[in-house]
Chain A
Amino acid sequence: MRLSRMPLSLRVPVISAGLMVLVGLVASQQVLSALGAVQDARLRELARLHIDGLSVALGPDVLRRDVWEVFDTLDRARSAMDGKRMILTVVGDESGRVLAASDPRRAPVDSDMSGLLAGAGTLATISAAGADPMVRVAAPLVFQGRETGQILTELDVSDLVAERRRALAALVAGNALAISLLALGGYVVMRRILRPISLLAAQMESATGLPEPIPGDRIPKGDSELARLVQTYNAMSGAVEAKAEAERRLAERERFVSLGRLSSSLAHEINNPLGGLLNATDTILTYADRPDVVRSSAALIDRGLRHLRDVARATLDQNRIDRNGMRLALEDFDDLRTLFEPEATRLGLRLDWAVAASALPPLEAAPVRQIALNLLLNAAEAAESGGWVAFAADASDAELRLSIRDSGAGLPEASLRRLLTSDPMPPGGGVGLRLVHDLVAAGGGRIDHSRAVAATEITVTLPARAPC
């Protein structure tokens, strides 16, 4: 798993563990480097003392080229060191020939010293840093301020190398243990610290799709920042819940609002036939003995009552609570026309109504009716008196297409934003268009707006979706 894809509650502990490993490595490196420096300083001091001591002791003998005395001094120095540290010391004369060596078989008297000098360091440069258990150092042999020869010595540094190797092993083992414990501890502690974050993330992605508040007993104690964060989150989740509830109520109310807007037209629609109906009953009462008049008046009453029944049914349907889940039918478009036509008439608008579909895709009736009604009411409001409103419904197996056009001056910018975007709504103004937007979005559909010369068209496309 890539680090950037890890959840924060895992990533931070992993990073903290990684940092501890890094710190451990750097610390180990520092310790080894310090140990190396100490060892080198020790080695240089040792070599310097060794060579200085021999220079003092050998000076006169080298000056006299006294092979035996030089050897005797070296041999006694070797014996005194019990064969430790000093492996070989060679003293050469000014011409680079061996005068004597602690091991004459390795460096015979009068042999050329250059082979031995190759690869030898100086007192300032020798180091026990490599894996080589031996270092070779060469220095001039100075006596009475004059360089009388040279001295080369091989020092056994296997103990220093072994010491460093032991230190390395101890560091690796100790640090591995310490780092593992620290990293594990750091991981656990970070996980604990970040547990509220994990909880927060889990609550945000709850099954309901809405952020759920964190119970009070799970709010971290003692950590005021995280506690504040959780409390803030709880407050926000409450606000989101409240907003969703408010929207739900608003949508509920919108149904009544749209009906309310139709109420006067519908009242007229009911009232208008009543005069005719009352006249018909008067006629029947007056001409009760004339069957033809009674029959024609009864037919008139029948038509009027049927119309009234249609209007009442359409109004009830629009508002029925138990209509949720019902499938859209062609009759729903008749209902819409029944509801809207009186309003158009009242406003002096021409209404073009075209439902071309013979079969409809599976869709829930309530949102479609609400969408169409809201857009029709909006169009009626926009189209000025003497103008027109056109409704068209077209359908295939896959989708339903509604087209609402009007002769109005077009939607103002604020209304377009309500209809087409999820931008926050400015205060004031109706919620009808935003409800259309939300319903279409919930249904996975699309709203298109186009403006032609003296005509505005809003098209809603809804994909087929079986009512649940």
Chain B
Amino acid sequence: MSQTLTRRQMIGSALGLALRPRLARADTSLRLGLTPVFLDNDAVVIARLRDALAEGTGQLIDLVQRRTYAEVTGLLLEGGVDAAWLCGYPYLQHENILSLLGVPSWRGAPLYQSYLITAPDDPASGLADLRGGVHAFSDPDSNSGWLVTASDLSRVGERPETFFRRTMFAYGHRNVVRAVASGLSRSGSVDGYVWEVLAQLEPDLARATKVITKSEWLGFPPFVALRERIGTSPVTALQDALLGMTGTDPGRAALQSLQLDAVTPGHPGLFGGIRARMQDLAG
């Protein structure tokens, strides 16, 4: 009798051990906020990133997408997500309460550029030629998709609202390319990394635009978390998974989809250029 009970208890314990990690995972899935700093419309890319982070953390990953940078930043600040892939501009806006988890490295460096694009047949060769046109920005909290052009104008004493006849926010770098390619807007400010990836994945769309100017190299959109949560297990798990992506098959597959080399630890100094532009804009 006691043996039977013991056996049952043992079987129950074994089942409990087998089930516990899965239940625990479901209860404590990690939430990562995503902004359109990359091709966030590609379901395969999203799935591979989730698989890579799930593999790296050993937990379920909930990737949270929102239309605007502000919404994702808001989620991060209020604790709705454990970490977020933000643009350098909102990171710097909240630098005092945010910390870097890692900075992706693209083509050998954690840097990227902002591109100014027009239709291929447009005679404009620089920002100054685009006066009076319709211009598409990506997001008011985007460095490459707004700040770079706005600060460039600010440096010459102009404001986007008056320099251009009309401006619009397309909320997504791919949308900016679409706006320019379709003729909806004459010009657009777009993430150089996204444009280059598009040129390979959707060459027809990218070829319907041309890059007329490129900004200086600026800090690549980083993964960030609330500073106060640095060291907590979800954040640490996420950071470890991000930095260790090159070490796992799913991680490498995700990086390949994103056309990134790796996620590096990074440091705030990478974002000096953006900080300078913020200061120029603030005047």
Contact = CB atoms under 8 A, between A and B. Distances in A.
Interface of A: 66-68, 71-72, 75, 100, 103-105, 108-110
A71 B183 CA distance: 11
A75 B166 contact: no
Contacts of B185: 104, 109
Given A68-B136, A75-B178, A110 B184 contact: no
A68 B134 CA distance: 11
B169 A68 contact: yes
B182 interface: yes
Contact of A104 (B165, B170, B175, B183): B183
A104 B175 CA distance: 14
Given A109-B166, A110-B165, A110-B166, A68 B171 contact: yes
Nearest to B178: A75
Contacts of B179: 68, 71
Contacts of B182: 71, 75, 103-105
A364 to B, nearest CB: 111
Nearest to B134: A109
6 contacts: A67-B184, A68-B175, A104-B185, A105-B182, A108-B183, A109-B184
B168 interface: yes
**Which interface residue of B170, B184, B185 has the most chain A CB atoms within 10 A?**
B184
Contacts, number: 39
Given A68-B179, A71-B179, A72-B175, A104 B166 contact: no
A109 to B, nearest CB: 5
Interface in B135-180: 136, 165-166, 168-171, 175, 178-179
Chain B interface secondary structure, helix, strand, loop or mixed? mixed
Contact of A68 (B165, B168, B183): B168
A105 B119 CA distance: 11
A105 B183 contact: yes
Nearest to A110: B166
Interface in B31-62: none
Given A103-B182, A110-B166, 12 more contacts: A67-B134, A68-B168, A68-B179, A68-B184, A75-B182, A103-B183, A104-B182, A109-B134, A109-B166, A109-B184, A110-B134, A110-B165
Contacts of A100: 184
A233 B73 CA distance: 112
B230 to A, nearest CB: 37
A198 B178 CA distance: 84
A108 B166 CA distance: 12
Contacts of A110: 134, 165-166
A105 B180 CA distance: 11
Contact of B170 (A68, A103, A105, A109): A68
Contacts of A66: 168
A86 to B, nearest CB: 15
A108 B165 CA distance: 13
**Which interface residue of B134, B171, B183 has the most chain A CB atoms within 10 A?**
B183
A64 to B, nearest CB: 11
A67 B166 contact: yes
Contacts of A72: 170, 175, 178
Given A109-B134, A109-B184, A67 B178 contact: no
Contacts of B169: 68
Interface string B67-79: 0000000000000
A60 B184 CA distance: 19
A100 B183 CA distance: 10
> Closest 3 A-B residue pairs measured CB to CB?
A105-B183, A104-B184, A104-B183
Contacts of B136: 68
B184 A71 contact: yes
A442 to B, nearest CB: 104
**Which interface residue of A68, A105, A110 has the most chain B CB atoms within 10 A?**
A68
Contacts of B175: 68, 72
A71 B175 CA distance: 10
A75 B175 CA distance: 11
A62 B168 CA distance: 14
A66 B182 CA distance: 16
Contacts of B183: 103-105, 108
A330 to B, nearest CB: 123
A84 to B, nearest CB: 18
Contacts of A105: 182-183
**Which interface residue of B165, B178, B182 has the most chain A CB atoms within 10 A?**
B182
A105 B134 CA distance: 12
Nearest to A72: B175
A130 B182 CA distance: 31
**Which interface residue of A100, A104, A105, A108 has the most chain B CB atoms within 10 A?**
A104
Contacts of B184: 67-68, 71, 100, 104, 109
A103 B185 CA distance: 11
A68 B67 CA distance: 13
B107 to A, nearest CB: 30
Nearest to A101: B184
A462 B185 CA distance: 113
A67 B260 CA distance: 33
**Which interface residue of A66, A71, A72, A75 has the most chain B CB atoms within 10 A?**
A71
Contacts of B178: 72, 75
Interface string B173-206: 0010011001111000000000000000000000
A252 B179 CA distance: 119
A67 B136 CA distance: 10
A77 to B, nearest CB: 13
B188 to A, nearest CB: 11
A92 to B, nearest CB: 15
A68 to B, nearest CB: 5
A67 B170 CA distance: 9
B251 to A, nearest CB: 33
